[in-house]
């Protein structure tokens, strides 16, 4: 991945700059700043650059910080959270774009339906909310960055598409078997140690799926680094 020098510093400068004050929040968003733009073959190349907005990147950095501690809404995120949020955003955008293309190539009778994708979003998004302390906590973090509920749902939809593509085109991730979960229960540093396996199995499965998806996203981005160009706006 090619990133212009001072990437993190540049993003922090962009995030520190306040948005203009408007009585209408929607009007404020029309003038919001772009923190980063990027392009890759998977997303349409230079002809179709993607943009990461200031408040969305700040929100995603909050989520990274929230994943590490059980309280607060991530307003004290650090540079490492910001970098992780950016890489996560880029990887998911690329994977979601690939998912859209793959769905378009599948014969109509075999394509996932809107209901299938909604169920997947509920599965994956619900697991993400669970690991971040619940939807209410996530929405409090979103409110701190002027992110509304529809945008939170859009973030979860993007994540579900990325997970679907990884599961379909790379390696099965979304339905771990009982034997695999028992191995995870015995050997992994999961948050359910000390509880009987049968009692925590559904929670453990959701936790494990999210962990696997994040690892697979990271591996995908690592393999794609030479094809991605990321530019921080100042």
For the chain, domain boundaries: 2-171+214-232
* Distance of alpha carbon 180 from alpha carbon 173, whole angstroms: 11
H/E element, 105: helix 79-105
| The residue to which tokens 């948005």 are assigned | 19
Element (H, E) at 35: strand 34-39
Q: How far apart are CA 169 and CA 98, in angstroms?
A: 10
Radius of gyration of the chain (CA): 18
Segment 52-100, tens digit of pLDDT:
999 999 999 999 999 998 889 999 999 999 999 999 999 999 999 999 9
Q: pLDDT per residue over 101-136, tens digit each?
A: 999 999 999 999 999 999 999 999 999 999 999 999
What secondary structure letter does DSSP report for 5? S
Q: Distance from CA of residue 17 to its chain's centroid?
A: 24
């Amino acid at each position: 991945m090619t990133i212009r020098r001072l990437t993190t510093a540049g993003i922090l400068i962009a995030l520190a700059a306040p948005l203009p004050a408007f009585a209408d929040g929607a009007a404020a968003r029309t003038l919001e700043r772009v923190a980063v733009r990027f392009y890759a073959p998977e997303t349409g190349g230079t002809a179709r650059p993607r943009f990461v907005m200031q408040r969305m990147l700040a929100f995603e950095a909050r989520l990274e910080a929230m994943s590490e501690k059980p309280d607060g809404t991530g307003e004290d995120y650090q540079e490492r959270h910001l970098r992780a949020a950016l890489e996560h955003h880029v990887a998911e955008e690329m994977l979601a774009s690939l998912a859209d293309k793959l769905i378009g190539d599948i014969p109509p009778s075999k394509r996932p339906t809107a209901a299938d994708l909604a169920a997947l979003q509920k599965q994956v998004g619900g697991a993400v909310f669970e690991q971040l302390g619940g939807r209410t906590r996530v929405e409090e973090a979103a409110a701190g960055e002027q992110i509304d509920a529809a945008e939170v749902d859009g973030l979860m939809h993007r994540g579900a598409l990325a997970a679907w593509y990884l599961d379909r085109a790379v390696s099965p991730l979304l339905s771990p078997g009982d034997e695999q979960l028992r191995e995870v229960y015995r050997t992994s540093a999961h948050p359910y140690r000390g509880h009987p396996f049968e009692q925590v199995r559904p929670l453990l499965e959701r936790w494990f799926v999210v962990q696997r998806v994040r690892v697979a996203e990271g591996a995908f981005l690592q393999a794609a680094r030479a094809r991605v160009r990321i530019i921080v706006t100042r």
